[in-house]
Amino acid sequence: MLFEEYKYFDYQFPDPQYLGAKHTHLSWIRQFVPDNVKTAFDAFAGSQSVGFLFKQMGFQTITNDFLNFNNQIGKALIENKSEKLNDNDIKTLFQKSPNKSDFTLMENVFTDVFFEREEAFFIDNFRANIPLLDNTYKQALAFTVMNRSLTRKITMGHFGHTQALVYAADPERIKRNRSLIRPIKDLFLELLPSYNNAVFDNKKDNKSVNLNILELLPNVSNIDLVYFDPPYCDSHADYQGFYHLLETYTEYWKNKEFVNGIKRYEPKRYSGFDKKGEAIVSFEKLFELSNEIPYWLISYNNRSYPNITEFEKIISKYRDVKIEYKTYQNGRGGKGSVAGSQEILFVCQPKKKHFIPTIKQKELEYEEL
Ligand SMILES: C[S@@+](CC[C@H](N)C(=O)[O-])C[C@H]1O[C@@H](n2cnc3c(N)ncnc32)[C@H](O)[C@@H]1O
């Protein structure tokens, strides 16, 4: 890397709270990025931590996730070169919204599930104001910081349980985590500077996309490196079960049902990578469609399906592959990570062509003897 490009490492990726986020593994992953990469692609981007690393490394970065709340982080921190939320924008977001009457979904669906009525009303009002910001990058920042505030507010940082209000009334829990009883507005204002400060221009046109990866791959070209961090099938793969509220807040669904105690939207988006019956076929498709991209890095976990040996066999049909291991010292490594479980990286490069001499060449060699 050129000395010039180290300057982007002064920007700090704001700590996410997302199952399987790789922000704690970035310097380890970075070692395996090959030289001479110009364009890099984070295909299952989640919190966008690896896309952010690529941007910091000066690459033209494409990033994608099939959930729109993750795409908003990509728009805010990867695609966005300079837009930040200023005092006027904050005023707009917190004003009594002229459009409030069209925005009642949070109050109607999630009051007494995750929020008291007053907080649900507050986030509906904020949501009604987001489209009033000047441009899509400011709007993406507003979504990103609000969604992050909501995960802070709710016990365990996900929405796959119905204990939020019970825990928020438990003095022991509050002692350990005061965010449970803090107003969402305060959380938002506290988090905002770290997001504003993470906006930078790496002098490339970067792009955040919101598609199923199998639909997107046929439409991308000239990429040097792709990073795959698929959901780990068999071990916490249900992102829509855990983070449905953030997707509902971002999409503000008009055409879904809200089911179960947690009020998850139904039908879900189709992944292809989160069910045992579909995973292998989807990986075959994924690799087939990625054949034009020379270098692949693939994150994996020793508790996933298919297991490492089987997965290596599938990859070997397409690439020469080396497996790198990083052992967790504690249970904070990400999805399904418990002490002793391992973060794995398949480091893949184009197959070396073996030179097999033809008979004619052999004859020539004999003649020379
Ligand atoms: C393990 S997480 C990625 C974590 C990410 N590397 C990070 O640092 O935060 C897997 C992501 O894949 C996304 N995903 C699942 N199926 C997908 C699909 N078919 N196409 C695109 N994204 C998908 C999920 O929404 C989830 O965010």
In eight-state DSSP terms, residue 20 is T
| C-alpha of residue 282 to centroid of ligand 1, in Å | 14
Burial of 195 (0-12, 13-18, 19+ CB in 10 A): buried
Ligand 1 pocket at CB < 6 A? 18, 20-22, 44-47, 49-50, 64-67, 70, 212-213, 229-231, 239, 271-273, 335
More confident residue, 2 or 293: 293
Of residues 329 and 107, the one with the higher pLDDT is: 107
Instruction: Read off the pLDDT of residues 129-163 as tens digits, 9 standing for 90 and up.
Output: 999 999 999 999 999 999 999 999 998 999 999 99
| Minimum mean pLDDT range among 151-155, 174-178, 259-263, 358-362 | 358-362
Cα–Cα distance for residue pair 76/78, rounded to 1 Å = 6
Q: CA quadruple 66, 68, 69, 73: dihedral positive or negative?
A: positive
Q: Give the pLDDT confidence score for residue 2 in this predicted structure.
A: 56
Cα(21) to centroid(ligand 1), Å = 9
Residue 352 Ramachandran class (φ > 0 left, ψ -120 to 50 alpha, else beta): beta
pLDDT, mean of residues 94-114: 98
- Which among 245, 210, 213 is positioned nearest to 114, based on CA atoms? 245
Distance 70 CA to ligand 1 centre (A): 9
Cis peptide before 267 (omega within 30 of 0): yes
Residue 64's SS3 state is: strand
Contacts of 350 (CB under 8 A, 6+ apart): 294, 295, 319, 320
What is the identity of the amino acid at 143? F
Name the residue with the closest Cα to ligand 1, atom 13. Answer: 44
pLDDT confidence bin for 202, thresholds 50/70/90: very high
> How much is the mean pLDDT over the chain?
92
* Å from CA of 169 to ligand 1 middle: 33
Pocket test of ligand 1: the residue of 53, 56, 66 to mutate, having most ligand atoms within 8 Å of its CB, is 66
Measured in Å, residue 64 CA sits from the centre of ligand 1 at 8
Higher pLDDT, 369 or 204: 204
Q: What is the pLDDT at residue 333?
A: 46
Residue in this structure with the two tokens 């989807």, named with its chain if needed: 282
Question: Residue range 21-28: average pLDDT?
Answer: 96
Give, using CA atoms, the residue closest to atom 17 of ligand 1: 271
Considering only 60-74, 277-291, 335-349, which range has the smallest mean pLDDT?
335-349
For 165, residues 6+ apart whose C-beta sits below 8 A from its C-beta are 112, 113, 114, 115, 116
Give the whole-angstrom CA distance, residue 316 versus residue 362. Answer: 30
Residues 6+ apart with CB under 8 A from 127: 103, 106, 146, 249, 252
Q: How many angstroms separate the alpha carbon of residue 230 from the centre of ligand 1?
A: 5
Q: Would you state the structure tokens that stand for residue 144, as one six-digit string?
A: 């990103």
Dihedrals phi, psi of 287, to nearest 5 degrees: -75, -40
- The larger pLDDT score, comparing residue 359 to residue 117, is at 117
User: According to the model, what pLDDT value does residue 337 have?
Assistant: 47
State residue 177's pLDDT score.
Answer: 87
Query: Residue 95 and residue 316: Cα distance in Å, rounded?
Result: 56
Question: pLDDT (tens digit, 9 = 90+) per residue, 325-341?
Answer: 997 665 554 444 455 56
Distances (CA, A) of 138 to 64, 103, 327: 19, 20, 39
* Structural domains in the chain plus CATH codes: 4-349 (3.40.50.150)
The pTM for the full model equals 0.93
Q: Is the dihedral of CA 98, 99, 101, 104 positive or negative?
A: negative
Distance 44 CA to ligand 1 centre (A): 4
With a cut of 70, say whether residue 363 has pLDDT above it.
no
The proportion of the chain whose per-residue pLDDT surpasses 70, expressed as a percent, equals 91
Which ranges constitute the DSSP H helices of the chain? 26-30, 49-56, 68-74, 87-94, 105-110, 117-129, 136-153, 164-167, 171-176, 184-196, 213-216, 239-251, 276-289, 308-316, 359-368
- Asked if the model's pLDDT at residue 26 lies above 80, the reply is yes
| Mean pLDDT, residues 74-91 | 98
Which DSSP state fits 131?
G
> Tens of pLDDT along 213-240?
999 999 999 999 999 999 988 777 899 9
Which atom of ligand 1 is nearest the CA belonging to 49? 8
- Say which range, 59-68, 198-207, 335-344, has the weakest mean pLDDT: 335-344
Report which residue type is found at 72: Q
pLDDT at 365: 53
Q: Determine which of 88-92, 302-306, 327-331 has the lowest per-residue pLDDT on average.
A: 327-331
pLDDT at 264 over 50: yes
